[in-house]
Amino acid sequence: MMPPLSLTQSINSIVREDWGRILASLTKSLGDLGLAEDSLQDAVEIALVKWAEQGLPKSPAAWLITTARRKAIDSIRRDQIFTRKQSEIAFLTELEHSESEIDMDALPDKRLELMFTCCHPSLAEKTKVALTLRTIGGLTTEQIAKAFLDNPKTMAQRLTRAKHKIKLAGIPYTIPDKSQLPSRLSDILGVVYLIFNEGYSASSGSNLTRVDLSEEAIRIARILHSLMPEEAEITGLLALMMLHDSRRYARTDETGQMVPLEQQNRNRWDRSKITEGKELLAYAMDQKAIGPYQIQACISALHCEADNWVSTDWSQITVLYELLLRMTPSPVIRLNMAMAISYSQSTTAALEILDEIFPQLETYQPYYALRADLHMRQGDKAQARAAFEKALALSENNAERNFLKAKMQAL
């Protein structure tokens, strides 16, 4: 008998909250992400039936990890290479027959190790994102496929290949040593921010945002922050995302159309998120280890502090972009700096920068959107129209396209 819908939703919520920690612990014990995930999935399916009949256990997470361990033992015993798995059997059997109940608070949190595995440099960027959403976020394959606008079967194959590669290549479930940690941590933060950005400004589809992805990125960043509170750039990234996300409800109007930053009703910005973001940023800056995410958070904080578009401190924002550019040279950062320079200096100075970076951003939609805006502010309608047409041709998001069309019609 299927459990009632409300109970199923409650169980799914519990599983989602503890999925990452349980899976990480199982993976560390088994040394096999595929086996760990299959065993945990089996435990969840059993829970849906058992908990519907008997009610929720005292500690659902402990119940799940105990059941998953038993399923792992059963699976290993059926394995043809049983003789090579004796150490795993002995270890898991010892845990299975332990008299004491599992204390989740005392159980070592291995999510950080699993995150480093999922974001290993040998894996493709899309695979890193999908694995992180699956293993740490607990999203289903169908949910991840929807986020990527992929076929669920194709996404399932991608995840299976990734887990197989991790196993064959012997990618370890460990935190890298100090010499590798900065670059490897940077990879993880890049993946988390990529998830957030796809939620904040969807690359395609009918909606401007995908709130579920933005919220999942923030949740993963909070996990990272709790595991490595001394890492200033983790805190900086979390601050940046909170400050950006504070503007969520002002970014579209009642019809779902895009509202640019300069026209947003700032009374609709979430002040509690702004406060948290600024507090996190202050905490990060106190670590005296300045990094790119902290600089970007400073820029976002300046936008949040301005009463309106006109009073924005563009001079300070320009200086921050110059600092950011020295840290991480990028044509996209120069593009954003050009926008700030158009207000702190002149549109002509901004267009000169755009001319310089054109070869690197020839197929980048925001490049043409900014170029159109600059020409429009100069009163050059023909150049603005040509740039808008280029931006439209490169945009796959309907809300974004509608906004660009309205701007072009206003000419």
Radius of gyration of the chain (CA): 24
Q: What pLDDT sits at residue 99?
A: 41
Please say if the pLDDT value at position 121 is more than 60. yes
Percent of the chain with pLDDT over 70: 89
Which pLDDT belongs to residue 255?
83
CB within 8 Å of 115: residues ≥ 6 apart: 132, 135, 136, 188, 220, 224
Across the chain, what does the average pLDDT equal?
A: 88
Distance CA 146, CA 141 (A): 9
205 phi and psi angles, rounded to 5 deg? 100, -175
**Token pair in block for residue 363:** 């197929």
- Distance, CA of 41 to CA of 12 (rounded, Å): 12
pLDDT of residue 398: 85
Q: How confident is the model at residue 333 (pLDDT cuts 50, 70, 90)?
A: very high
* pLDDT one-digit tens code per residue, 196-213: 988 887 666 666 667 888
Q: Global pTM? A: 0.84
| Distance (Å, whole) CA 411 – CA 376 | 8
* pLDDT at residue 91 greater than cutoff 80: no
Mean pLDDT across the stretch 230-248? 96
Handedness of CA 330, 335, 336, 340 (dihedral sign): positive
pLDDT tier at 29 (50, 70, 90 boundaries)?
confident
Residue-range domain boundaries for the chain: 5-96
Distance of CA 390 to the CA centre of its chain: 29
Coil, strand or helix at 1: coil
Name residue 396's beta-bridge partners: 204
Q: For residue range 38-47, list pLDDT tens digits in order.
A: 999 999 999 8
Residue 312, Ramachandran bin (φ over 0: left; ψ between -120 and 50: alpha; else beta) = beta
